[in-house]
Amino acid sequence: MNSIKNDLKTLFFAAIDAVAGDKAVAREINEYSDVYQGRFHIIAIGKAAESMLRGVPEDKIINGIVISKHGHLSESIKQDQRFVCLESDHPVPKQASIEAGYTLLDYINSLPVDAPCLFLISGGASALVEVLQDDWSLDDLSELTQYLLANAYPIDKINAVRRQISRIKGGGLWRYLGDRPVKCLLISDVPDDNPEDIGSGLLFPAQTKSVNIPQKWAKKIVVSNTPQVPQSFQSKIVASLSVGKMGAADKAIELGYQVSVIPDFLEGDAEEAARNCVTQAKQQAGTLLIWGGETTVHLPEKPGRGGRNQHLALAAALAIPGEAEYYLLAAGTDGSDGNSEATGALVSNKTVSDAKAKGLNPDDFLENADSARFFEKMGGQILTGATGTNVMDLVLVYSPK
């Protein structure tokens, strides 16, 4: 049992390594050195901001600004005099997000009109940095974000709303960049790797997408014209979910497993997704199954602590047939899961029976969206801290024959 659990953890970390921000950026710049000639002002935004920055060769850096989630920046980067470093709020924007937005504009405006800029954008940028349209307040933004998250809106719809209320999302940053030459490298944390949705498209205009939200917010949305993107603009996605899944698969094959990488994006209700994963694993016993995606959780009025990955893992534990041997790991590649310290959890067919032997009722924890407290009591949490990447979530399932 423990060997299989350890193997699943090894596969998860292999996936993380495959999409590490520093390695992905370094590969791109080294392979296409002719494209990245000269030196750049670096603008790194997202959960993987520092890691991506570390992939840029030292001789190509003039100075820069680095905006990431609280706890995701090292002391060494914060003490580097070349960089303006800001730690901001995620997933719900707060005052630090607004301050980061205006500091970003100040930094851009301070650059020479012909200054070459290299943007490094990863997931989380939507919440970490913001400059709001007129008539929108921080309270509006925070309340709307909490509503969208609590009601399980998918990420593309959340970001579609964000673009419409922001002065810098949906390509809005071009209003401030002027004619400065810009290149952009991205780590994708969205389905279909659409750059318009990564960080809500700071440099990528998108067609207005209709999203059904309460009228008190909908009536405040005013669609504005987006500046044209210069033809010289170059961008590339350097790490994505598919790369992470293959990193796990390659390691699994190396360890002797028969592997099936599921191409379908894992989405929708986390509990339903968990049941489907368990069912498919039962049908393919002896094969290690690898999913990737981002599920949602409908929160009760007073939710506990946890996130979609721990919620999925707990729901899977409850769905596992008691007589069958199962192992499931669900974890976020960024190192975080909701409002807990863990990034996910690992369960087996023994999880529920062991919990009941300790006097715990797993159904109660699931109903209260309190999965983190369940796993804190039972063990099984995946704890990584900031990983330096963010390509959504991975679910690994194995049921021996």
What's residue 210's pLDDT?
83
Min mean pLDDT across 24-33, 177-186, 201-210, 232-241 is at 201-210
Compute the distance between CA of residue 336 and CA of residue 338 in angstroms, rounded to an integer: 7
Q: What is the pLDDT of residues 233-251, one digit of tens each?
A: 999 999 999 999 999 999 9
Mean pLDDT of 111-133: 96
Q: Is the pLDDT of residue 154 over 90?
A: no
Query: What is the CA angle 334-246-253, rounded to 5?
Result: 120
Same domain, residue pair 76 and 194: yes
Residue 300, preceding peptide bond in cis (omega within 30° of 0)? no
Q: Which of 94, 29, 10, 120 is nearest to 390 (CA)?
A: 120
Dist. CA 35–CA 52, nearest whole Å: 17
**Mean pLDDT score of the chain, rounded to an integer?**
95
Asked whether residue 231 falls in the same domain as residue 321, the answer is no
CA angle 55, 60, 63 (to 5 degrees): 95
Instruction: Report the C-alpha gap between 342 and 353 in whole angstroms.
Output: 23
The vertex-240 CA angle with 238 and 246, nearest 5°, equals 110
Q: pLDDT band at residue 321, thresholds of 50, 70 and 90?
A: confident
pLDDT of residue 188: 97
- b vs e for 75-87, b when ≥16 Cβ sit within 10 Å of the residue's Cβ? eebeeeeebbbbb
Quick one: 327 and 216 in the same domain? Answer: no
Pick the last residue of a domain from 239, 269, 301: 239
Residues 171 and 288 both lie in one domain:
no
Which CATH number characterizes residue 123's domain?
3.40.50.10180
**pLDDT band per the 50, 70, 90 thresholds, residue 1:** low
Q: Output phi, psi for 93, to 5 deg.
A: -65, 140
Q: Are residues 235 and 247 in the same domain?
A: no
Distance CA 9, CA 311 (A): 18
Structure confidence at residue 150 as a pLDDT band (50, 70, 90): confident
Q: Are residues 225 and 287 in the same domain?
A: no
Give the DSSP letter of residue 133. P
Q: Which domain holds residue 380?
A: 2-15+242-398
Tell me, yes or no, whether 217 and 174 share the same domain.
yes
Instruction: Please indicate, yes or no, whether residues 218 and 85 belong to a single structural domain of this protein.
Output: yes
Q: Specify the CATH number for the domain of residue 296.
A: 3.40.1480.10
CA distance 332 to 382: 9
In this prediction, residues 360-384 reach a mean pLDDT of: 98
What integer pLDDT is reported at residue 86 of this predicted model? 98
User: Which two three-digit tokens encode residue 368?
Assistant: 């209260």
Q: Residue for token digits 């780590």?
A: 187
Residue 2 scores a pLDDT above 90:
no
Q: Examine the fold and report which residue of 216, 239, 262 is the final residue of a domain before the chain moves on.
A: 239
Is the domain of 211 the same as that of 74?
yes
pTM: 0.92
Same domain membership, residue 126 and residue 84: yes
What is the enclosing helix (H) or strand (E) of 286?
A: none
Q: Which of 245, 318, 306 is nearest to 277 (CA)?
A: 318
Q: What is the pLDDT of residue 214?
A: 94
Angle at CA of residue 20, ends 90 and 290, nearest 5° = 90
Last residue of a domain, one of 187, 219, 239: 239
Question: In terms of domains, do 162 and 302 share one?
Answer: no
Note whether 151 and 205 are same-domain residues: yes
In the chain, how many domains are there? 2
